[in-house]
Amino acid sequence: MPEPRTWQLTAGSAALGLALAAAAVTAAGPWDSGQRTAERARAAAPAAGGTRHAPPPAPAAPHRPEPAPSAPGVLTALRPAGPPTGPSTGPTTGPVDGDPGKRPAARPADLAAVLVPLLADPGLGPLRTASVVDAATGRQLYGEGATTPMTPASTVKIATTAAALSALGPDHRIATTVTAAPDGRTLTLTGGGDPTLDTNRLKALATATARALKARGHAPVRLAYDTGLYTGPAVHPIGPNENIAPVTALMTRAGRLDDSPDGPAPRSADPARDTAAAFAGLLADAGVQVAGDPAPGRTPKAAPLARTHSAPLADLVERTLTHSDNDLAEALARQTALARGLPASFDGAGKAVRAELAALGLPVAGTRFADGSGLDRNDRVSAALLTGLLTRAADPARPALRPLLTGLPVGGFTGTLADRFDTAPAGAGLVRAKTGTLTGVNTLAGTVVTPDGRLLAFAFLAGRTPSPYQAQPVLDRLSAALAGQDPS
């Protein structure tokens, strides 16, 4: 499916997200990483940016006409951020900062009056928790069971990506390499855990390899491929599924067998072997004779002949969140495990993510990370943990976490929120949030700016919901209500 021309909206939203952050500082059903297959998100093109350099001062400032009185600024600055104080343990009441004149969304008592009736909607089922936090101060403005661990579905990706950014930094790139044996007769294609490797980069890797081999003549070589970076089962506990490929260190386009850029798709049963076979063909096209079929092997202890790198981790995090990319989420969880010296497996990744979040001073009691994508129903995350992560990402002292905010889908416009907020138009374009959907589980966690200029972080988790068609509109209205708009 071709991507719609939404890059202008995406670029503006990304810029707004950066500005807000800096200033405010059962069984798995047919789900698209938190959405039904019929609700597959339209892709959002990446935004470009750069540094603005001031010109040299002019001798005299030219006369400029005064702005029209009817054209005031369209976006006022957010309220200055104070030092985080940490969330409280329950609902908060009374005026904020002793100012009785705050707009409704900034006052806990008013928030409760708006949120409690919405949370009582039967569309959310009998299990629901909530947390709303002032991102500038870390103060909890509203909470209902905020510390209770719940099945988060795909909102767990907020935790997965935060852990990766904390452990590795936003500039980290994942390498795929080719190494020659000492006798030069065998090449080994080594996976580093990059599911975004595509045909163009694989072809460039083959061309670079052929160039490096040119001085050795054109004797046939054998090709091996190494997936040993990952350990443990490759198949996700939900089993073979169109929502996720086998989790292996070597794959092309996340093992997709069609041209889809995201969402459910037919998947290869052995993405590593398929990638190695494609690489062998590209080597042949580049003039390298490859004998036999590729076979599993181990990487020789030698400097690589050629390598290719993924986009920076900041970009991978944004893609993971915007499109709820399960394959990338699992890869980033394993990158975190490797950074912490733990096995790159489902179990090792879960331990690494939990340890990294604990090191950030976040409430991890009762949490469990059975996977990095949220497809596993055994995951447990609290609403307070999710709002704590989002608040950390808005902290000026933690710029490495900023992609958690800039990667969130924009309500009604991008990613997994592109087709949402039709029943809550007040939130369209204002709410940025990560979705989560499994059969009987519906969640939403993100940020919104109130009319008085406060950045709020929120998380709403619901369990045993009757259907996504009943639960999702309620979640949309809850988040839209935080903008101080009429939720009806």
- DSSP one-letter string for 398-428: -GGGTHHHHTSPBTTTSGGGTT--SS-GGGT
Active-site position among 131, 154, 166, 268: 154
- Name residues whose C-beta falls within 8 Å of residue 78's C-beta, 6 or more positions apart in sequence: 20, 23, 24, 136, 449, 453, 454, 455
Alpha carbon of residue 47 to chain centroid? 16
The answer to whether residue 345 is catalytic is no
Active-site position among 13, 102, 157, 373: 157
- DSSP one-letter string for 287-305: T--B-S--EE----SS--S
Residue pair 102/95 in contact by the 8 Å Cβ criterion: yes
**3-state class percentages of the chain: helix first, strand second, coil last, to nearest 5:** 35, 15, 50
Q: Is 222 exposed, middle or buried, given 0-12, 13-18 or 19+ CB atoms closer than 10 A?
A: middle
- Name residues whose C-beta falls within 8 Å of residue 444's C-beta, 6 or more positions apart in sequence: 155, 433, 434, 435, 436, 458, 459, 460, 475, 476, 478, 479
- Name residues whose C-beta falls within 8 Å of residue 442's C-beta, 6 or more positions apart in sequence: 124, 153, 436, 462, 465, 468, 471, 472, 475
The answer to whether residue 301 is catalytic is no
Active-site position among 13, 131, 324, 373: 324
The answer to whether residue 157 is catalytic is yes
Token pair belonging to 361: 């001073």
Q: How far apart are CA 273 and CA 232, in angstroms?
A: 18
* Catalytically active residues, by annotation: 154, 157, 324
